[in-house]
Homo-oligomer: A and B are copies of this chain.
Amino acid sequence: MTSPGDTSSRGGRPRRAAVVGAGLIGGSIGLALRSRGWHVTGRDRDPDVAEAAKAAGAIDAVGEDPEAEITFVATPVGAVAEETRRVLAQPGRPKDAAVTDVGGVKGPVVAAVPDPHFVGGHPMAGSEQVGLRGADPELFAGATWVLTPTASTDAGAFARVQAVVGSLGAEVLSLSPVQHDALVAVVSHVPHLAAATLMNVADRRAEQHAALLRLAAGGFRDMTRVAAGQPGIWPDVCVENAPAIVAALDDLLQALGDIRRVVAAGDRAELLASLSQAALARRSLPARAVRPERLTEMRVPVPDRPGVLSEITTTAGDLGVNISDLEIAHSAEGQRGVLVLVVDAEAADTLAAALGRRGYRPTSRPLQ
């Protein structure tokens, strides 16, 4: 029975992790792990940043750690594949060590690094802060952390990453890389581009009318706030996720064209219907993920073959069901095993039904 969820030290020796890239996310991971007793080694392409991370208590040591059981590659999107391959190529790594990343686009990097011990990841947490100075050990508390296993992902590596990010307070949601990229295009990339575009439209008007920006009240400020963020990270993100972004922008352009026609026609009823729908949806937006009050343990007998782990976990993810805990119980014979999932009790029936349609036979029992 694998038990990767145990975050305490083993036999008195602290568990070992490594971080590549000591910015906002990498620094926060380091702080969070160290506060939980881990030994964290880290590096950054800027040696001064790595030293600053050590001085700030985000890492114990500067450099690489071949003994790390988990490595977080927290570089800009464009550098993830190369850095991940570098970590995987380190001599002397434990056979079951896992590597994960935190990039905002998953399809290209997962395709570029088909190693079974690399699990794509994306913590949906940020801050208006930038870089190490914004690092916060509680950044991930209650945040959704997406993992993107594929058919070749090693179940043990997945379980290890799942358990460690879960121990940082995040709720794990598994999605296929393609699904992740399509969804973040809608909720992150296109909103950012729209905010920047709106800001630029207003700014061009402001060149003629100095009064304009004096009129920019709360709503405009809210809508354009993200546009003030670091522009440098976006070209890579947009290029890597171009197909999904273009598709989502086309949706937005179509919908804005529709609302333009409604305004031009003076159609009050249609305007009210559209804005009421939006208000309802916005008010229904879930707050930051909260740990469900009641949990269900679901045991799914599975054939011991590749692809099962990703199929089951992304089936849960597609339903919006986060995985609070996950273990793989191999049978003695090795041909079959049992995947043990802990999920929100309210979602258990829906998930069981969806797994049933895929030929699995899960059993459930309430926890606590």
Which residues of A are at the interface with B, using a C-beta cutoff of 8 A? 124-126, 143-144, 146, 173, 175, 179, 182-184, 186-188, 190-206, 209-232, 234-236, 238-239, 242, 245-246, 248-253, 255-257, 259-260, 263-264, 266, 268-269, 271-272, 274-279, 281-286, 289, 317-320, 322
Alpha-carbon distance between A327 and B27 when the two chains are bound, in angstroms: 58
Copies in the complex: 2
A selection of 9 A-B contacts at a CB cut-off of 8 Å is A146-B215, A173-B215, A195-B278, A196-B274, A210-B319, A211-B317, A228-B282, A231-B279, A249-B256
Contact B277 A200 (CB under 8 A): yes
Using known A-B contacts A196-B275, A197-B278, A228-B279, determine if residue A235 contacts B188 with beta carbons closer than 8 Å: no
Using known A-B contacts A219-B192, A272-B232, determine if residue A209 contacts B318 with beta carbons closer than 8 Å: yes
Contact A188 B220 (CB under 8 A): yes
Contact A285 B213 (CB under 8 A): yes
Using known A-B contacts A188-B219, A231-B279, A235-B272, determine if residue A183 contacts B201 with beta carbons closer than 8 Å: no
Contact A271 B238 (CB under 8 A): yes
Using known A-B contacts A252-B197, A266-B239, A282-B199, determine if residue A226 contacts B219 with beta carbons closer than 8 Å: yes
| Cβ distance A162 to chain B, nearest Cβ, rounded Å | 16
Contact of A199 among B228, B257, B271, B281 (CB under 8 A): B281
Contact of A175 among B211, B218, B225 (CB under 8 A): B211
| Cβ distance A45 to chain B, nearest Cβ, rounded Å | 19
5 closest A-B pairs (Cβ-Cβ)? A210-B320, A196-B278, A231-B275, A235-B268, A219-B226
